[in-house]
A and B are shown apart, each in its own frame.
Chain A
Amino acid sequence: MPGSSTAAELVSYAEAVTRYEPLIGLETHVELGTVTKLFCGCPAAFGGAPNTHTCPVCLGLPGSLPVPSRTAIEYTIRIGLALNCSIAEWCRFARKNYFYPDMPKNFQISQYDEPLCTDGWLEVTLEESELGAYGGGAGGPRTFRVGIERVHLEEDTGKSQHMGGATGRIHGADYSLVDYNRAGIPLVEIVTKPVEGTGALAPAVAHAYVRELRDLLRALGVSDVRMEEGSLRSDVNTSLSPRGSGRWGTRTETKNVNSLRSVERAVHYEIERQAAVLDGGERVIQETRHFHEESGITTSGRSKEEAQDYRYFPEPDLVPLAPSRDWVEQIRSSLPELPAARVARLQREWGLSGVEMVEIRNAGALDLVEQTVAAGAAPADARKWWLNELARRANDTGAELTSLPITPGGVARVVELVASGTLNDRLARQVIEGVLAGEGTPDEVVAARGLAVVSDEGALGAAVDAAIAAHPDVADKIRGGKVAAAGALVGAVMKATRGQADAARVQEMILARLTQS
């Protein structure tokens, strides 16, 4: 490999992390769930017909002035406190100057060297199952403390759509459309310190950090974190240094990665790519890179060396922020139970394994499972339905679990119908299909589709007798002691009843007729 490698070639992951120590860092942007935008009264709601959620302020019209939302500042402080940060006694907004058509003022009101929250941490735990993929796994779960450099508040930009042209970028487009509905929506940026000592686990730690952060933000009630709508996006910094060298390598910044799995894949890919560059005796270029979901690779964006000078200076249209200590303490005392504590409590209450809890959290289903349990379902059943059938259907349609048109109460009812023997799993899936298709509640779907399990002994007995008569050879095997052969007869009965028979009862009836015991 050395001598022949180019940037396009990769070094296998195992080799890469043997020779190099990865260092990662994440900058995560999350849109706050405030009712109004950061500096005006326009709705901050996602969507809307283009340019309808706008006013002179968020359009940056001449003469307009920003007035900060107290709620957005409070939410930022909530995040800072939950991340164990210090809250500034005095800080300022700053202008970040650059020209782009979707920036109404051609500067963004952000924070620069005086962020609202600084110097905190977030603990993330990797379960054994997550360690396994990177050669870990023995010795139980591992906990990493990710340092938080800063949390600051800024306004989002508008959205451009570049029409025509090959790249979908502004250069080469026939024309561009700009929607300013998003302009001015409050955005919080959470920046980690460099995360050292992860070794081969770097991609998993990155994944677990974003997961923990997402759950934290939801628990705080500051954002509904719809990752598929881009309301949480992470820039992932990755660098490698030769093991034992004691110095940090040159980092790349992979922009706008917007799913947990993509965060992990992006780090994984960058480690393999950078190892190949270094093995080839070349320098890693400090640059921004783009991650491609389909191929799982990153490609070069603009080089940091040609990066713009943003000419930051304190925003003169706003007075400094000076949150009183009373207010900060009031916010601190109103913080809800945080995810790490909540997961530990629920795991205890539900009797599930750490791995099962991680699966629930990765799927973003903790609230749903909790509500389903509260509606009467057994925790294991609630977990099973949300993570298998419903997660599959959400995945098929590209929706978040929470946006499926079925309530935790509905799922609990399905679980109850299965437990009572009214439905089997196969029928239950059809009921769920009906509920998702808008056919009504689970009970309404059962009634409308006639889906109840056939438990009428007379009807079942006739079907069993018919199956035995139709398959004399199988019946003989069972009589001869090969009980396992009964499966074929059960299948025949299920087919004859179009799946509505209780399979366990059918098995019992077959064995009762063909064996002595």
Chain B
Amino acid sequence: MDGELTRMTAADLAAAIAAGDVSAAEVTEAHLARIEEADPRVRAFLHVAGDQARAAARAVDERRAAGGELGPLAGVPLALKDVFTTIDMPTTCGSAILDGWCPPYDATITRRLREAGVVLLGKTNMDEFAMGSSTENSAFGPSHNPWDLDRVPGGSSGGSSAAVAAFEAPLGLGTDTGGSIRQPGAVCGVVGVKPTYGGNSRYGVVAFASSLDTPGPLARTVLDAALLHEVISGHDPCDSTSVDAPVPPVVAAARQADVSGMVIGVVPELGGEGIQPGVLAKFNESVELLESLGAKVTEVSCPHFSYALPAYYLIAPSEASSNLARFDAMRYGLRVGDDGTHSAEEVMALTREQGFGAEVKRRIMLGTYALSSGYYDAYYGKAQQVRTLIIRDFEAAFERVDVLISPTTPTTAFRLGERVDDPIAMYLADLYTIPADLAGNAALSVPCGLAPEDGLPVGLQVMAPVLADDRMYRVAAAVEAALDARRGYPLLNDARGLA
């Protein structure tokens, strides 16, 4: 039974718990057992909160026993990226500088999950401060891809994507700044969603780049992702950039799973040189599949997307250089050199020197430079102009088509260690995902098959206009349903890394 429980979708688990077929406590125990069994190899979790998870599950069971109303995901376990603050668990952001820090408050999303009866299993690994595409920048060591343990699970939300792909949790939460949900989703063969910027609260999400950071779901099915999306979304008065608008009807769209009559645009700028042949092949098959399902597919050029990556690597580090200034040993976290012989300034410098990893330092330096007097206009200012042009490209495209599609990543999961000494190669993993972050519109990645040459999963990226998140769920759900039907079983059954 335990093995069956961890293989079930979130939607089915919630239904079974609501019907009394299984208790939330049993579901939680099954997942904790699976973590114990699989996580020494996957290393998805930085912190497993067994006691709190059991208590949360018991509360759901008691509420049900008392005849109380249960939310759509009550009793379903979730793996939370270690960037969301949690009052009862440490929050490290994968950084030594926050090792052991227990925040005095819950993130808005953490609170909404608890209120919905979602069971938080613990905190998952990530690239330090969400900077990276492989989890190799975590101060606590990398996570491993359940398809092949020698490969990366993507990043920065690689702990959450690996946990979901390894059946350690049916649901995961991540944050996407340049692709940090969609890319790990794609390379782990799960669904990863970056909602419209501002659709999900950032309050209590430790900031990397404020104007880009977007929390979103990771799940094994499109419907599960949509259910989680609706639980966490909606206006938050504690976040000024949170959108005060109705949540797009994403669950209904995921159930609709129908693309007939939709106009879908292929962006030629996303998929050119450097793309792995098997990724391109799977993408092309997806295009044919969508046409066969009744969609009209056309090519839509977005000429400024080519400049997205360089613009991103000015804007994101600039904001990060300022956001990460607060880690100075004065109030919380690591403190180095406080031995009576160093000044406050020196303690700050020593702590930051020791507490931050190489990639974080690289980006702080890049951002500090880009914002400096005399360079601001040429770097940060110019990058913001590029951002405006990318927004206009999207707006023009969405006048002609309902959604845009592309491969999510240029390649399948790469090997651990393969790119650690080559930052540019690492940055290229986010080449296709960055435009949607810069523009703030919605995008997701849905598995679209395995690359023939390496047998690893490939993601199809679907991009929708701002606050039209439901459209991409329709498309993704249709693709998922058609591929599952053709295959006859869920894609993740082919993941052999843990076999």
A residues with a Cβ closer than 8 A to B are 56, 59-68, 95, 97, 99, 101, 104-107, 170-171, 176, 178, 309, 311-313, 316-319
State which of B41-49, B101-109, B155-163, B475-483 sits at the interface with chain A. B101-109
In whole angstroms, how far apart are the Cα atoms of A312 and B377 in the complex? 12
B470 within 8 A of A: no
> Which residue of B is nearest A96, CB measured?
B322
Contact, CB under 8 Å: A171 / B103: no
Which residue of B93, B331, B376 contacts A313 across the interface (Cβ within 8 Å)? B376
User: For B241, what are the chain A residues with a Cβ–Cβ distance below 8 Å?
Assistant: 65, 316-319
**B117 CB to closest chain A CB, in angstroms?**
23
Selected contact of B203 from candidates A63, A99, A105, CB within 8 Å: A63
Interface contact A101-B332, CB-CB below 8 Å: no
B371 & A313 in contact (Cβ 8 Å cutoff): yes
Distance of B368 from chain A, by nearest CB (Å) = 7
Which residues on the A side are within 8 Å of B318 (C-beta)?
A: 313
Looking at the assembled complex, report how far the CB atom of B126 sits from the nearest CB atom of chain A, in whole angstroms: 14
A451 to B322, CA, bound (A): 68
Interface of A is mostly: loop
Is B325 a contact partner of A65 (Cβ separation < 8 A)? no
**B326 engages A311 (CB within 8 Å):** no
Interface residues of B in 105-159 (CB under 8 A from A): 105, 107
A176 to B321, CA, bound (A): 26
Specify which of B98, B210, B368, B376 is in contact with A317 (CB 8 Å cutoff). Answer: B210
Known contacts A68-B240, A97-B371; A106 and B326 CB within 8 A of each other: yes
Cβ-closest 10 pairs across A and B = A106-B325, A316-B210, A311-B371, A316-B211, A62-B206, A63-B204, A63-B85, A63-B206, A309-B373, A105-B326
A318 neighbours in B (Cβ, 8 Å) = 240-241
Task: Give the chain A neighbours of B204 by CB distance below 8 A.
Answer: 63-64
Judge whether B85 and A107 touch: CB under 8 Å: no
Where the two chains meet, the residues of B that have a C-beta atom closer than 8 Å to any C-beta of A are 84-85, 91, 93, 98, 101, 103-105, 107, 202-207, 209-211, 237-241, 318-319, 321-322, 325-328, 330-332, 343-345, 348, 368, 371-373, 376, 380
Residues of chain B with a CB closer than 8 A to A107's CB: 322, 325
B residues less than 8 Å from A62 (CB atoms) = 85, 91, 93, 98, 101, 103, 206-207, 326-327, 332
B373 in contact with A61 (CB, 8 Å): no
* Chain B residues whose C-beta falls within 8 Å of the C-beta of A176 in the assembled complex: 344
By a CB distance below 8 angstroms, the chain B residues around A104 are 326, 331
With A105-B325, A309-B373 in contact, do A65 and B238 touch (Cβ < 8 Å)?
yes
Q: Please, which residues of chain B bring their CB within 8 A of the CB of A317?
A: 207, 210, 240-241
Which residue in chain A gives the minimum CB-CB distance to B241? A319
Cβ contacts under 8 Å, B104 to chain A? 56, 61
Take A105-B326, A318-B240 as given contacts and tell me if A63 and B107 are in contact as well, using a CB distance cutoff of 8 Å: yes
CB of B115 to closest CB in A, whole Å: 18
Residues of A within 8 A of B371 (CB): 97, 311-313
A170 and B345 CA atoms in complex are apart in Å by 10
Once A61-B103, A62-B98 are accepted as A-B contacts, the answer to whether A170 and B206 lie under 8 Å apart by CB is no
Bound complex: CA A167 to CA B330 (Å): 22
CB pair B240 A319 closer than 8 Å: yes
Report A-chain residues with C-beta under 8 Å of the C-beta of B376: 311, 313
- Given A61-B332, A105-B325, A107-B322, the answer on whether A56 and B105 have CB atoms closer than 8 Å is yes
Contacts of B84 in A (CB 8 A): 63
Q: How near does chain B come to A102, taking the closest CB pair, in angstroms?
A: 9
Show 23 A/B contacts (Cβ-Cβ < 8 Å), sorted by A: A56-B104, A59-B331, A61-B104, A62-B98, A62-B207, A63-B84, A63-B85, A63-B105, A63-B206, A64-B204, A65-B203, A65-B240, A67-B240, A97-B322, A97-B325, A99-B328, A101-B344, A107-B325, A311-B368, A311-B376, A313-B371, A317-B210, A318-B240
Write the nearest CB–CB distance from B22 to chain A, whole angstroms: 34
Name, among A65, A104, A176, the residue most crowded by chain B CB atoms within 10 Å (CB to CB). Answer: A65
Q: Are A67 and B237 closer than 8 Å at their CB atoms? A: yes
Contacts of A101 in B (CB 8 A): 328, 330, 344
A61 to B318, CA, bound (A): 20
Please give the distance in Å from A94's CB to the nearest CB on chain B.
Answer: 11
CB-defined contacts of B373 to chain A, threshold 8 Å: 309, 311
Q: In the complex, are the beta carbons of A63 and B325 less than 8 A apart?
A: no
A339 to B440, CA, bound (A): 49
Contact A61 B325 (CB under 8 A): no
- A-B contacts besides A65-B239, A312-B371, 11 pairs, CB < 8 Å: A61-B103, A61-B331, A61-B332, A62-B207, A62-B327, A63-B203, A64-B105, A99-B328, A176-B344, A178-B330, A311-B322
Give Cα A106–Cα B204 distance, bound, in whole angstroms.
18
* A63→B322 contact, CB < 8 A: no
Asked whether A95 lies within 8 Å of B240 as measured between CB atoms, the reply is no
Which residue of A has the minimal Cβ distance to B315? A316
- Residue of B whose beta carbon sits closest to that of A56: B105
List the A residue with the shortest CB-CB distance to B344.
Answer: A101
- Given A60-B326, A97-B322, answer yes or no on A309-B206 (Cβ-Cβ < 8 Å): no
Q: Which residue of B lies closest to A317 (CB)?
A: B210
Residue of A68, A309, A311 contacting most chain B CB atoms (<10 Å) = A311
The answer to whether B344 and A313 touch across the interface, beta carbons within 8 angstroms, is no
User: What's the nearest-Cβ distance from chain B to residue A315, in Å?
Assistant: 8
- Closest B residue to A171 using CB positions: B343
A63 to B322, CA, bound (A): 13
* Among A56, A105, A309, A316, contact of B319 (Cβ-Cβ < 8 Å): A316
**Shortest distance from the beta carbon of A115 to any chain B beta carbon, whole Å:** 18
CA distance A313 to B370 in the complex (A): 10
Across the two chains, which residue of chain A brings its CB closest to B371? A311
Chain B CB within 10 A, most for which of A60, A105, A106, A176:
A106
User: In the complex, A378→B239 CA distance in Å?
Assistant: 56
| A313 and B322 contact, CB distance less than 8 A | yes
Q: Which residues of A contact B325 (CB under 8 A)?
A: 97, 99, 105-107
Contact between A313 and B380, CB atoms less than 8 A apart: yes
A99 and B345: CB pair below 8 A?
yes
Are A65's CB and B202's CB within 8 A?
Answer: yes
- Report which residue of A67, A68, A170 has the largest number of chain B beta carbons within 10 angstroms of its beta carbon: A67
Give bound CA distance, A318 to B237, whole Å: 12
**Could you tell me the distance between the alpha carbons of A99 and B85 in the complex, rounded to whole angstroms?**
24
Shortest B408–chain A CB gap in Å is 26
Residue of A nearest to B347 (CB): A101
Task: Tell me how far the C-beta of B241 lies from the nearest C-beta in chain A, rounded to whole angstroms.
Answer: 6
Q: A63, B103: Cβ atoms under 8 Å?
A: yes
A60 to B98, CA, bound (A): 14
A residues in contact with B205, CB < 8 Å: 63
A309, B372: Cβ atoms closer than 8 Å: yes
Task: Report the minimal beta-carbon distance from A417 to chain B, rounded to whole angstroms.
Answer: 56
B332 CB, min distance to chain A CBs, angstroms? 7
Q: Which residues of A contact B103 (CB under 8 A)?
A: 56, 61-63
By a CB distance below 8 angstroms, the chain B residues around A60 are 326, 331
A97 to B323, CA, bound (A): 10
Q: Are B238 and A67 in contact (CB under 8 A)?
A: yes
The CA of A309 and the CA of B380, in the complex, are separated in Å by 15
Q: How far is the CB of A99 from chain B (nearest CB, A)?
A: 6
Q: Whole-angstrom distance between the alpha carbons of A97 and B327 in the complex?
A: 13
CA gap between A139 and B343 in the complex, in Å: 59
Shortest distance in angstroms between A239's beta carbon and chain B's nearest beta carbon?
Answer: 23
Assembled-state Cα–Cα distance A62/B101 (Å): 10
The answer on a CB contact under 8 Å between B322 and A61 is: no
How many angstroms between the C-alpha atoms of A61 and B98 in the bound complex?
Answer: 11
Residue ID in chain B nearest A59 by CB atoms: B331
State how many angstroms separate the Cβ of A320 from the closest Cβ of chain B.
Answer: 10
**Cβ A99 vs Cβ B210 within 8 A:** no
Contacts of B107 in A (CB 8 A): 63
In the complex, chain B residues whose CB is within 8 Å of the CB of A171: 343
Q: Which of A62, A309, A312, A319 has its CB near the most chain B CB atoms (within 10 A)?
A: A62
* Residue in B85, B209, B328 whose beta carbon sits within 8 Å of that of A106 in the complex: B328
- Bound together, the chains give a CA A302 to CA B336 distance in angstroms of 28
Quote the shortest CB–CB distance from A67 to chain B (angstroms): 5
Beyond A62-B98, A313-B318, whether A170 also contacts B240 by CB under 8 A is no
Chain A residues whose C-beta falls within 8 Å of the C-beta of B206 in the assembled complex: 62-63
Of all chain A residues, the one with the shortest Cβ separation from B107 is A63
